[in-house]
Structure 1
Amino acid sequence: MVDLTSSCMVRHWSNWVVGSGLDGSMKIGLRRGWELWEEQLVRDLYPDYPAILRVLPHRTYWAVRSRARKLGVVTSREIWKASTVRSIEELSRTHTTSEIASKIADMETHQVDAIIKYFGFGRKPREGFRRAGIPVIDDVLYRADQQGLTLVEVDRRAGIGKRYFAGRRWENGLHGGHLARAVFALGGELYVEWEDD
């Protein structure tokens, strides 16, 4: 067992590193610089972290991840502007992805494909939605079907964001706020009608 409180260890603590592996195991050892063959291995095997850690057992997951970022092999995530997403949504109904990419500056076809896939744009609605058997839900589904909207688009327009309609979450219990927002987003009004005895 290593005594981390000894004067020798305290004096040279900056050279020691404590980290964790991909499996959650703790590792302790001396901090070493990266050798060229290790960096080349990261370049060749990225993004297969388990394979890299099998070959470099003395490196932690976080050290490998940091080195991959410094070497520039990590693909950075793209941040999409709201105006670009809205433009792609409008164009996706009538244009192909290559046509959309040519109309929007600094956009490539694979980026347009990613946005369309992520947000579910341009999909043709199914032949009617599967009915729920709950009158207010059925009314929302019928209205969305009339407007040619997918259930993902209904959730987005209503500002729900939790896939209430697309995930059929009403089956776990009705949520009045989500229903009201969907009705208003689809151009309807919500009111109560009482039956007299």
Structure 2
Amino acid sequence: MYLADHSKNAGLKHRTGLGQFGWAWSEEENAKCRQFHPDYAALAEALPHRTRQAIKRRCSDLKLCSPQARPWTAQEQSKLRRLYKTVSVAELREAFPDRSLSSLHNRGAELSLRRYRPPYTSTGDRLLDGLREECSRRKLTMRDVDCLAKSGSYFTDRGWQGKGNSYYNYRWIVRAIYALGGTLKVEWSEQ
């Protein structure tokens, strides 16, 4: 859109009552939005010429939909630092009943906190288990291993636990081992 379009249509709202996307909102309509806000059915009855989507958008523009986020106190932050790494998600929610889980995770990320990750479970394959132990030691995720081994999403999606086609793709496992600087050693038993 060019600047000339804006200047050409600058007086459109005043001449016709139309805004960029339809009829301009009047102060009476804004007052009705403030009066009936959480009840969209009542708003739809009070404003029959407006769609429900338009009403929701206007309430959002008037800052009626989402309350302002309550700032974190120093006491809450220290409590979050103390609990974030060690307790379960359920216990974290109990400790902060007035905060959403996404709020807790976002604040934890802002404070550079990391949750405890349990070690990888055993798969029964010595090569894969060794690779996963090394990844755990180096704090690498399976997505990181997929990037290093260029294996698509084999490690991220646990390709060895496939639906009906469970098998270990040793090509990617060996490639990941080499990418991490590991080597393979073959030992033959003497008979």
**TM-score per shorter chain, which class?**
0.3 to 0.5
Q: TM-score, normalised by structure 2?
A: 0.41
Q: TM-score, normalised by structure 1?
A: 0.40
> Highest CA radius of gyration, 1 or 2?
2
Between Structure 1 and Structure 2, the one with more strand by share is 1
